[in-house]
């Protein structure tokens, strides 16, 4: 999947890398299986749970709209290219299982 076609994996989020403002970042799932599954639970994606879905984690991303400033190594630079999440970060913002209108970049 190319960067321009990446869609946020959070349930109900319709953010695509090529349709969001430049300051929106897309973060890959952690390499650690346990942490990947934790992320999947936080974003209501039970279809990403289990060892057999490891290939799906490799291509999955979560957009920066789901992470508070406190989850970034340098919170004041969260919109800069190359900004990193803290090793213990997990998505906590704008998470919902069902919503009348999906979240989109504005």
For the chain, the domains span 3-77
Average pLDDT over residues 38-56: 83
Distances (CA, A) of 91 to 32, 33, 34, 51, 63: 16, 16, 15, 21, 9
pLDDT score recorded for residue 81 = 80
pTM of the model: 0.80
Paired strand residues for 26: 63
Summarised one tens digit per residue, pLDDT across range 74-99 is 888 777 888 899 999 999 998 876 54
pLDDT at 104: 60
Q: Which two tokens stand for residue 7?
A: 């869609």
Residue 98, pLDDT score:
52
> Would you state the pLDDT for residue 9?
93
Residues 57 and 69: beta-carbon distance below 8 Å? no
CA dist 43 and 20 (Å) reads 19
pLDDT score recorded for residue 82: 81
d(CA 48, CA 89): 18
What is the SS3 assignment for 89? coil
DSSP 66: G
For residue 2, pLDDT over 60 is answered with no
């Amino acid at each position: 999947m190319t960067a321009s076609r990446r869609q946020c994996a959070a349930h109900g989020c319709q953010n695509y890398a090529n349709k969001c403002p430049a300051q929106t970042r897309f973060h890959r799932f952690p390499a650690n299986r346990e942490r990947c599954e934790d992320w999947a639970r936080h974003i209501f994606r039970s279809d990403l749970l289990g060892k057999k879905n490891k290939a799906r984690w490799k291509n999955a991303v979560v957009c920066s709209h789901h992470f508070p400033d406190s989850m970034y190594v340098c919170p004041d630079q969260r919109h800069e290219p190359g900004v990193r999440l803290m090793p213990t970060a997990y998505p906590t913002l704008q998470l919902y299982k069902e919503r009348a209108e999906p979240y989109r970049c504005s």
